[in-house]
Amino acid sequence: MDLPALLDTLDPAAPLAERHLWLVDALAWVRGEGNDVNASVARLRSFVEALEHNEALQARWRDWLRVFVGAIDITPLLADFGFGPRSAFMSELAHRLRHKVLPGTPETTDLAELFALLLPARADVHWIKALDTHTLQRLGQLLPDGATQVWNDALMDALTFCVSQVSATGFASEIRIRMSDTAKAEKPFHELPSTLEGLRREVRVHGTHSEEAAQAAERLREQLDECRHAAYTVYHHLEEHGVSVGIVFRLRQMREHIVRIKQLLDCLLSDKPGRANAALLGDLVQIGIDNRSVRALVASSSHLTAAKVAERSAESGEHYITRNGAEYLGMLRKAAGGGFVLGFTTWLKFGLVGLGLSAFWSGFAAGFNYAASFVLIMLLHWTVATKQPAVTAPAMVAKLKDIKATGAVRRFVDEVANLIRSQIASILGNIGLVIPTVALLSLALQFVTGTPMIDADKAHHTLDDHHLLGPTVIFAAFTGVLLFASSIIAGWVENGFVFHRLDSALAHNPRFTRVLGKARAQRWAGVLRNNISGLAANISLGFMLGLLPVIAEFFGLGLQVRHVTLSAGQVTAAAFALGTDVLRLPAFWWAVAGVALIGPINLTVSFYLAFRLALQAQAISTTNRQLIGAAIRRRLRSAPLSFVLPWRVRTEPDDDAAPDSPGGTHG
């Protein structure tokens, strides 16, 4: 549609929806293709010129604006647009999902609801902010009488609503009880409503551009800063006592409300209101675009939780990194113990398959078998090789908190070498004992029952399942994802355990102490506090290994799990069932090659995912990541055996401190 045709359809008497659709079309015409800001600004100037040179059209435009402003509520756009309903994370998540699915309607009196239809594109941000002062002044001269007062009243109402939201957040019990003692004593939120009322009084008595109004606005800004500083003390409590996504979301919403209040003050009191209004409008368009993203909401609200999960995983991961020969041998012994238990797990797995359970209950039984075995290994202080990378990666990245320090990168490379050696030791220990354990169990079953652990058909099927050229690589990578997911679940569960102070509740709650006795309740609370992360990781991993293949099969995905130690046990059982002739079968050697590849893939995928999460949690910049990669490559060239055997290697000089770059330190 060209400009004359657009202006011909301008009708103040049109129905509500038709008027709003005309405005949608007008802004779409200004936007154009959206790839040329100057062209959009030029089109808006043409629109203004057309109105300026036609008095009848100008009168019709003012009548249209008068009807538009009289029928629509401006305040929700200024006060509520971009904020979650009731300041709740789940409410905002549901709100965004609903708006992604359901279309908007122009038949509304809520300008916030209409806004997404009027200015939906990122290009709108650019052309609005590119408007020059002269063009904005010309636009202002085309407004009807009384429009400025209506706008100022809407700004003052929006200020009232936003300030009330800030006060409500500050007075919320979950925020208030977590503030520092100093912040509670200063009571900044108590003074906020009266400070706003002082501004309202000065504006009413002396006007928006008076010195008294400017001083009152400055007092409000200072009071808001005090409220923000008081609320930020909550983060220190969360870092020490566990993180809540809901609380982090409320704090973020409060910070954005304070920013909005300051923008509204600029629009109300500025001596160049056109420029301030255009800046606010452009920001609102950007907020509208950002607030349609579910991913952005989850990422912004859960960043601190992710950092805390990585930190808690780092605490657990320290126990799985060996740094000398004695610790290396200790890891071999612990892994051998884990392999011994998983040998019995393999036997039970084949036994459960023989029961002929339905798909779900077969998966549940397998998951229970895995979970119980992993928990037993944990309680015996043994280890399962593939569970380590997801917790050791954050432990390594924690070394990079002070990456600018001299020698920090070299020390990190040392940790990489220590980790890889530890993984090799754990895989060797697991497989080194699971194979003889399964072989001995098969021999015992053959002696007692006359039949091996599995029959020949099942043995051939097992070898085919682990064929190197089959889907083994994909299934091993999928298992690596599950290994990482179990560490995330463990971190979330432990964070929730600490955040809700469940150890204290178990130790002192009368309902528990009456049943268990005070001493036993305190002992159980301590045991759970020390082991909750491990229990959550092992139980969740076990049931994911058992149930997710069944669920995937229901959806026709055909995903299976390939865990290196369990796979080694299964191939051993198949080989024993087929006897010495198995050595002449190509399928056996292909399966052996498949098992040899499963371990590195399990480890690589789970470590990579955990490593990326930890890097983001520690805010390591791209530049410093490249520096780390270069240092690792240098170590591979200069001392490759340091990644395999626990030998002391010659260290490099402490000249590898990271450069001073934005984001290169712990955020």
State the pLDDT at residue 611: 75
- Give the pLDDT band (50/70/90) at residue 103: confident
State the pLDDT at residue 655: 43
State the pLDDT at residue 323: 74
State the pLDDT at residue 376: 95
User: Which pLDDT tens digit goes with each residue over 49-64?
Assistant: 999 999 999 999 999 9
Mean pLDDT (whole number) for 601-608: 86
**CB neighbours (10 Å) of residue 205?**
10
Give the distance from CA 444 to its chain's centroid: 50
pLDDT exceeds cutoff 80 at 305: no
Contacts of range 89-92, beta carbons closer than 8 Å, 24 or more positions apart? 89/245, 89/246, 89/249, 89/250, 89/297, 89/301, 90/246, 92/249, 92/297
Domain at 306-643: CATH architecture: Up-down Bundle (1.20)
Alpha-helical (H) ranges within 450-563 are 456-465, 472-499, 502-508, 510-516, 518-554
**192 within 8 A of 145, measured Cβ to Cβ:** no
Mean pLDDT (whole number) for 275-288: 93
- Give the pLDDT band (50/70/90) at residue 316: low
Which residue in 299, 304, 306, 296 sits closest to 82, CA to CA? Answer: 296
State the pLDDT at residue 303: 61
State the pLDDT at residue 652: 46
State the pLDDT at residue 662: 38
Domain ranges of the chain: 3-292, 306-643
pLDDT exceeds cutoff 90 at 131: yes
**CB neighbours (10 Å) of residue 579?**
11
CA angle 571, 575, 580 (to 5 degrees): 155
pLDDT exceeds cutoff 50 at 664: no
**322 within 8 A of 425, measured Cβ to Cβ:** yes
- Give the pLDDT band (50/70/90) at residue 418: confident
State the pLDDT at residue 353: 85
CB contact set of 186 (below 8 Å; sequence gap of 6+) = 226, 230
| Of the candidate ranges 164-173, 301-310, 355-364, the one whose mean pLDDT is the lowest | 301-310
pLDDT exceeds cutoff 50 at 665: no
Q: How far apart are CA 438 and CA 374, in angstroms?
A: 17
Distance between start and end Cα atoms, the chain: 50
- Give the pLDDT band (50/70/90) at residue 259: very high
State the pLDDT at residue 309: 62
- Give the pLDDT band (50/70/90) at residue 184: very high
By CB neighbour count within 10 A (0-12 exposed, 13-18 middle, 19+ buried), where does 25 fall? Answer: middle
- Give the pLDDT band (50/70/90) at residue 327: confident
**498 within 8 A of 626, measured Cβ to Cβ:** no
Copy the structure tokens of residue 557: 């995905």
- Give the pLDDT band (50/70/90) at residue 2: confident
Copy the structure tokens of residue 66: 């008068």
| Of the candidate ranges 319-333, 532-546, 612-626, the one whose mean pLDDT is the lowest | 612-626
pLDDT exceeds cutoff 60 at 133: yes
pLDDT exceeds cutoff 80 at 215: yes
Mean pLDDT (whole number) for 576-582: 92
CA angle 286, 290, 295 (to 5 degrees): 170
The pTM of the full predicted model, rounded to 2 decimals, is: 0.69
DSSP secondary structure of 214-236 = HHHHHHHHHHHHHHHHHHHHHHH
Sheet strands (E) in 241-348? none
User: Which pLDDT tens digit goes with each residue over 439-459?
Assistant: 999 999 998 988 889 999 999
| Of the candidate ranges 271-280, 397-406, 648-657, the one whose mean pLDDT is the lowest | 648-657
- Give the pLDDT band (50/70/90) at residue 653: very low
Mean pLDDT (whole number) for 164-176: 93
Q: How far apart are CA 148 and CA 208, in angstroms?
A: 11
State the pLDDT at residue 568: 95
The DSSP H or E segment spanning 41 is helix 37-52
User: Which pLDDT tens digit goes with each residue over 422-433?
Assistant: 888 888 999 999
| Of the candidate ranges 149-153, 352-356, 537-541, the one whose mean pLDDT is the lowest | 352-356
Copy the structure tokens of residue 508: 């002192």
pLDDT exceeds cutoff 50 at 657: no
Q: How far apart are CA 36 and CA 43, in angstroms?
A: 11
User: Which pLDDT tens digit goes with each residue over 483-517?
Assistant: 888 888 887 888 888 888 899 999 999 998 998 89
Q: How far apart are CA 344 and CA 134, in angstroms?
A: 82
State the DSSP code for 58. H
User: Which pLDDT tens digit goes with each residue over 6-23?
Assistant: 999 999 999 999 999 999
Mean pLDDT (whole number) for 22-39: 92
State the pLDDT at residue 243: 78
State the pLDDT at residue 301: 62
Residue length of the chain: 667
